[in-house]
Amino acid sequence: MNRRVVAVVPAFDEEAAIGAVVAGIREFDPEIDVVVVDDGSGDGTAHAAAAAGATVVRLPFNLGIGAAVQTGFRYALEQDYDVAVRLDGDGQHDPSELPKLLEPLERGEADVVTGSRFRDEGTYRPPLGRRLGITWFAKLVSLLSRQQVTDTTSGFQALNRSAISLFARDYPSDYPEVEATVLLLKHRLRLTEVQVEMRERETGSSSITFLRSLYYAVKVTLALFVGIARRSAVPTEGSPR
Amino acid sequence: MTPVRISIAAAVGSVLLLLIVLELIRGRRLKERYALLWLATGLVLLVLSLWRAGLNTIAGWLGVSGYPPAILFAAAIMFVIAVLLHYSTVLSRLTDDNVLLAQEVALLRARVDALEREDAREPATEPRAG
């Protein structure tokens, strides 16, 4: 493969999991460079990632998932990678699914490929609250983009250079995948979904997480409409703000 | 008509605000661009408190018949809202800039690390700290 591929892995306090994630990617394909963006972790995340053979970009303090992922895309742009794949630092994304994500890019059929848990009959059955949120955003984004999108909250993605350069300039902050989907389509980049399985994470379902999900759902919905109404979707370099 | 004592108190208050803002600018503790709104606040309130007939007329336009100084409060509140809104925009910009700086620092540090590792591989270089 002559295309240079980088795996962007955002991680916050993932000391226990990150080593295996990095090793898993390298084992799957040693040609893929792994960059771990340590989002101001207080534990040994950076050390564990470096020990497993990743390049580590350490943010000086916690910026949140969106800005951390964007840091990875900026790295990919700076280092001139052709393709970036994004995997979460907690190990829920399985590197052996990567070929499915990379294929449509190789064939030039898409600018971004998302690993969806709901495209076909997957085995993932999320709890009710989460399922409601996922369905709400899938329907809303599908409506806004006039294209069927089944999983707007998946962080398992592969991007080509156009998409990398867009996200390096502009990437949303909380639950960024939902807004990013709309941003992509607004810039007329082509999005494709492929069915993937993800490893389960333990999910708490206390009332606090429910309220928090509701808060995020409202916030992200607002952000979606703001994103659409925004005058210039991407502030160009050096433009007055 | 506005009671004279209210006019005097409001005028004194406005002058005090103006003096404090000017002193802060003079001492470089307040940047001019952030002081402009405060200066405008002080000036408008000063004019409204001294120009008693004008305050009366404006109150009449707005249908405030009983108590013209209410217009003073209204003007003051409007300016405070304007100042706060301005601060929110400044805060948003600073937040964005801050994120950008943190990302830039992180990327530069990664490059420095990489260069140092390359350096360390070459023989006869002094051992690195850390």
Residues A205 and A128: their CA atoms lie apart, in Å, by 10
Cβ of A241 within 8 Å of Cβ of B114? The answer is: no
Considering only the C-alpha atoms of chain A, give the largest distance between any 2 of them, rounded to a whole number of Å.
Answer: 50
- Distance to chain A for B90, nearest Cα, Å: 10
For residues B16-33, one letter each, b for 16 or more C-beta atoms within 10 angstroms of the residue's C-beta and e for the rest, the string is ebbeebeeebeeeebeee
Residues A21 and A32: their CA atoms lie apart, in Å, by 13
Q: Which residues of A touch B105 (CB under 8 A)?
A: 60
Of A61, A63, A74, the CB nearest to B107: A74
Q: How high is the mean pLDDT of chain B?
A: 90
Q: Which residues of A touch B114 (CB under 8 A)?
A: 55
Residues A127 and A131: their CA atoms lie apart, in Å, by 6
Q: What is the pLDDT of residues A163-176, one digit of tens each?
A: 999 999 999 887 78
Q: What is the pLDDT of residues A65-118, one digit of tens each?
A: 999 999 999 999 999 999 999 999 988 899 999 999 999 999 999 999 999 988
Q: Is the pTM here over 0.80, yes or no?
A: yes
User: Is the pLDDT at B17 greater than 90, yes or no?
Assistant: yes
**ipTM of the shown complex:** 0.83
- Distance to chain A for B43, nearest Cα, Å: 28
- Distance to chain A for B114, nearest Cα, Å: 9
What is the secondary structure of chain A as a DSSP string? --S-EEEEEEESS-HHHHHHHHHHHHHH-TTSEEEEEE-S-SSSHHHHHHHTT-EEEE-SS---HHHHHHHHHHHHHHTT-SEEEE--TTS-S-GGGHHHHHHHHHTTS-SEEEEESSSSS-S----HHHHHHHHHHHHHHHHHHTS--S-SS---EEE-HHHHHHHHH---SSSHHHHHHHHHHHTT--EEEEE-----------HHHHHHHHHHHHHHHHHHHHHHH-SSSSPPTT---
A48, A15 in Cβ contact below 8 A? Answer: yes
Cβ of B103 within 8 Å of Cβ of A60? The answer is: no
Q: Chain B residue closest to A60 (CA)? A: B102
Averaged over B53-71, what is the pLDDT? 90
Cβ of A241 within 8 Å of Cβ of B96? The answer is: yes
User: pLDDT tier at B91 (50, 70, 90 boundaries)?
Assistant: very high
Averaged over A47-61, what is the pLDDT? 95
Q: Which residues of B touch A60 (CB under 8 A)?
A: 102, 105-106
A34 closest CA partner among A44, A25, A42, A43: A25
Q: Which residue carries 């950076």 as its tokens?
A: A46
Of B93, B99, B114, the CB nearest to A67: B99
Residues B91 and B93: their CA atoms lie apart, in Å, by 5
A60, B105 in Cβ contact below 8 A? Answer: yes
> What stretch of H or E contains B120?
helix B69-121
How long, in residues, is chain B?
Answer: 130
User: Is the pLDDT at A200 greater than 70, yes or no?
Assistant: no
Cβ of A67 within 8 Å of Cβ of B103? The answer is: yes
- Distance to chain A for B33, nearest Cα, Å: 15
3.90.550.10, 3.60.15.10, 3.30.365.10, 3.90.110.10: CATH of A5-229: 3.90.550.10
- Distance to chain B for A58, nearest Cα, Å: 5
What is the secondary structure of A11-56 as a DSSP string? ESS-HHHHHHHHHHHHHH-TTSEEEEEE-S-SSSHHHHHHHTT-EE
Q: Which of the residue ranges A76-80, A202-206, B2-6, B67-71 would you say has the lowest mean pLDDT?
A: A202-206
Q: Compute the count of residue pairs across chains A and B with CB atoms less than 8 Å apart.
A: 37
Q: Chain A residue closest to B108 (CA)? A: A57
Q: What is the pLDDT of residue A233?
A: 54
A99, A202 in Cβ contact below 8 A? Answer: no
| Crossing angle (nearest 10°) for helices B52-61 and B69-121 | 90
Q: Chain B residue closest to A36 (CA)? A: B110
Is B106 part of the contact surface with chain A (CB cutoff 8 Å)? yes
Is A37 part of the contact surface with chain B (CB cutoff 8 Å)? yes
Domain boundaries, chain A: 5-229
Range with the largest mean pLDDT of A119-128, A174-183, B14-23: B14-23
- Name the residue with higher pLDDT: A68 or A238: A68
3-state secondary structure of B33: helix
